[in-house]
Structure 1
Amino acid sequence: MAIGQLIKDLRAARGWSQGRLATAINEAFGTALTREYVSGWERCKVVPGPFYLRCLSAVLDVPLAVLEGEVKRRTFISDIAATAIAPVVASDLLSAGFSARLSGGPSAEVWEEKLSTYGTQYMSMGASDIQRRISGELVTVQQQLDNPRLWSVASRLMTLYAKTFPGSDGSKAVNWYRMAARAADESGDLNSRVWVRGRAAIALGYEGASLGVADLFADQAMAISGKPSLGLLNAVMGKAHAAAIRGDFETARTLMDDGRRIFDSAGSHQQTSDYAVPWWRMNVFVSLLAARLGEENMAVAAQEAARREIPQELPRFATHLEMHRGLMLVRSGDKIGGVKYAQDALNSLPVEKHSLTLRLLMDEIKKG
């Protein structure tokens, strides 16, 4: 990819204008960069030198190697190890990594079983627990990436890991989603490429965070394949949430209808995995989307349908539905009552079951 197009994509992913990118660099480095100069970069009229590459790396929060050229496998692996090592005891990680490299590590079948387990655990465990467990696995799997199939495993692990950081962070979650997309591309597996991007889109869109990135991943997923799949469903619904938050209700409704049609073909029967979208989970998506659109009857219907089918071992998602009702109250004009309703629902859920998504939803309700 030409450096100009890469700069443009990274800027668009943050939802920044060319002027906003120039301002970010000027504020951080005391330069006098203009919007026109950024435009020159993106049109490949001017190539940024080493100094501005470092500036771009810092303000766009991407490794310098990404801007300097195609990221090679060795750089990609070291990126993963450097980012994943912090939450876990370093000596244990080093031992696990070298052991995997020397012994060949778990087989692809064992890794698929691990993914299935983590997909289930994600639905009920707290973010910190999931983060701690998956970070160790990432250090192990990065030693086995000679096998293309394990790039797919790595991409799905990284997507779950990204979910343990708030999308509003602006760097950690988004960078992990980007690496997950690159890993999926390395695998050559179309389903993984679509799913990783779609999962990023619905995560960010549902959270109401980094909407430019949500749109970018959704658009990429839809461009890769229009065949009905869970990845495509996530992408479309994520883009619908982003549109609703921006106030583009017509687009949001159109995308929601598209999502329902995709669900009819691709919805899953598995009930308790992050890799699944059963009927109740689709209704959780619709519940919040309808609340954001001010479609009270639709929201209530989705909430009642979801509540009848949510497995008892997943109380966090029942809390989501109650908080959606709080948002509806706020949007109807009862801000005090809506905030209290949502806060009471969140407080009734044990703290260890809280997720970053719930906290972001609470922030949205308070803002009205």
Structure 2
Amino acid sequence: MDLGDLIRDLRTARGWSQGRLSDHINARYGTALTREYVSRWERGAVKPGAYYLRCLSVVLDVPLAVLEGQVDRREFLTDAAGAAIAPLVASDLLSAGFAARLTGGPTIEAWEAKLATYGTEYMSLGAADIQRRVSAELVTVQQQLDNPRLWSVAARLMTLYAKTFPGSDGAKAVHWYRMAAKAADASEDLDTRVWVRGRAAIALGYEGAALPVADVFADQAIAISDRPSLGLLNAVFGKAHAAAIRGDHTTARRLLAEGRRIFDRAGSHEQTSDYAVPHWRVNVFTSLLAARLGDETTAVAAQDAAAAELPATLPRFATHLEMHRGLMLARSGDTAAGAAHARAALDALPPQKHSLTLRLLMAEVERS
């Protein structure tokens, strides 16, 4: 079966028009896909690239391997013309959950290893890749929650899952951050309780989304423990970004200084994990914060320091830094040049490496 035929059959099985399919992709990923382009896919006039294959995989709820032709498409798309896709996915999840309950599921050590892997992969893979896999892990771990230590695992998985949704989608991202905070409390582990809330605060603050919620999570983390930790560091920087966006530059600068003091005592040696904050990453936080404050001297210094230490395996974060430069240009009054610089940096990054956060940052530069 041709890819175009498969896309058409999956679309019509849901009762969607070509325009509705393009609308779903645009709403989820911030793209500008047209109905005409969907028509060209279905007619075989053009083949979706790697980025749009991933988009289609999520929106149409079909394994990426099927779209890529690694699995026989006709075998997958049965006589039900796609109507069985959702039940198949649900069946897989239910099977995983019951299997975990019947067998006892992975050990604590195995879960910690999974978390480490996801933390590393999140830094380089797209959100859609992580989202599908983590959802299955959440179904599995919820069958083992009679062990308090596994509430900690669940809380950290939920936090990562939340980050696969844009913060501007207040319903989904914030819902999962709140669930993660409750799970962390059930773990009775102080570090997890602080880390989950701090990670939510910096994610929302950096994205410039749901700022009141970012403040609440940050305040909760600070109230739970003022001991220097990565969770507290994230909370303080998240609160600083929220203050800068609201125009409270005095508070933002105070929190920046406080965050740097916490980093001096609690920074990470691990370089490539979402669960870590090494020197280059705290400078990425600082770079955007200073750009939002209009502090060019601090921003450039942070950008240069981050670029000097940024692992070559993480090109997405190099794109972040260039887009911060675009934001500075825009805020200095040259909006067109700032937007062009940010857009060029984003376009230079392979589409499959794009993140929801980068798209929100692009929108912020254009608004400036």
Same topology, TM > 0.5:
yes
- How far is 1:86 from its partner? 7.5
SS across alignment from 2:93:
helix
1:228 paired with 2:228, answer yes
Question: Cα RMSD over matched residues?
Answer: 1.2
SS across alignment from 2:227:
coil
Aligned residues of 1:88 and 1:132 also touching (Cα < 8 A): no
Match of 1:105 in 2: 105
- Name the % identity: 77
- How far is 1:91 from its partner? 1.2
Instruction: List aligned pairs for 1:71-220, cutoff 5 A.
Output: 89-220=89-220
Provide Cα deviations, 1:223-282, integer angstroms capped at 9, x if missing partner. Answer: 000000000000000000000000000000000000000000000000000000000000
Instruction: Write the letter of the residue equivalent to 1:99.
Output: A
CA distance in 1, matches of 2:134, 2:355: 16
Q: Could you say if the C-alpha distance between residues 87 and 125 of structure 1 is closer, same or farther in structure 2, counting changes exceeding 3 Å?
A: farther
Unaligned stretches of 5+ in structure 2? Answer: 1-84
Report the TM-score, using the length of structure 2 for normalisation. Answer: 0.76
CA distance in 2, matches of 1:167, 1:278: 24
Aligned residues of 1:88 and 1:136 also touching (Cα < 8 A): no
SS across alignment from 1:89:
helix
Match of 2:264 in 1: 264
Provide Cα deviations, 1:278-334, integer angstroms capped at 9, x if missing partner. Answer: 000000000000000000010000000000111001000000000000000000000
CA distance in 2, matches of 1:126, 1:206: 18
- How far is 1:170 from its partner? 1.0
Report the TM-score, using the length of structure 1 for normalisation. Answer: 0.76
Q: Could you say if the C-alpha distance between residues 300 and 86 of structure 1 is closer, same or farther in structure 2, counting changes exceeding 3 Å?
A: farther
Q: Could you say if the C-alpha distance between residues 139 and 112 of structure 1 is closer, same or farther in structure 2, counting changes exceeding 3 Å?
A: same
CA distance in 1, matches of 2:121, 2:213: 26
Instruction: Write the letter of the residue equivalent to 1:118.
Output: Y
Aligned residues of 1:88 and 1:135 also touching (Cα < 8 A): no
Instruction: Write the letter of the residue equivalent to 1:330.
Output: A
CA distance in 1, matches of 2:187, 2:319: 37
CA distance in 2, matches of 1:327, 1:222: 30
Unaligned stretches of 5+ in structure 1? Answer: 1-84
CA distance in 2, matches of 1:232, 1:217: 11
Q: Could you say if the C-alpha distance between residues 171 and 335 of structure 1 is closer, same or farther in structure 2, counting changes exceeding 3 Å?
A: same
Aligned residues of 1:233 and 1:259 also touching (Cα < 8 A): yes
Match of 2:279 in 1: 279
Q: Could you say if the C-alpha distance between residues 87 and 114 of structure 1 is closer, same or farther in structure 2, counting changes exceeding 3 Å?
A: farther
CA distance in 2, matches of 1:346, 1:96: 38
Runs of 4+ in 1 over 2 A off after TM superposition: 85-88
Q: Could you say if the C-alpha distance between residues 146 and 207 of structure 1 is closer, same or farther in structure 2, counting changes exceeding 3 Å?
A: same
- How far is 1:92 from its partner? 1.0
1:312 paired with 2:312, answer yes
SS across alignment from 1:228:
coil
Instruction: Write the letter of the residue equivalent to 1:102.
Output: L
Provide Cα deviations, 1:184-239, integer angstroms capped at 9, x if missing partner. Answer: 00000000000000000000000000000000000000000000000000000000
Aligned residues of 1:307 and 1:318 also touching (Cα < 8 A): yes
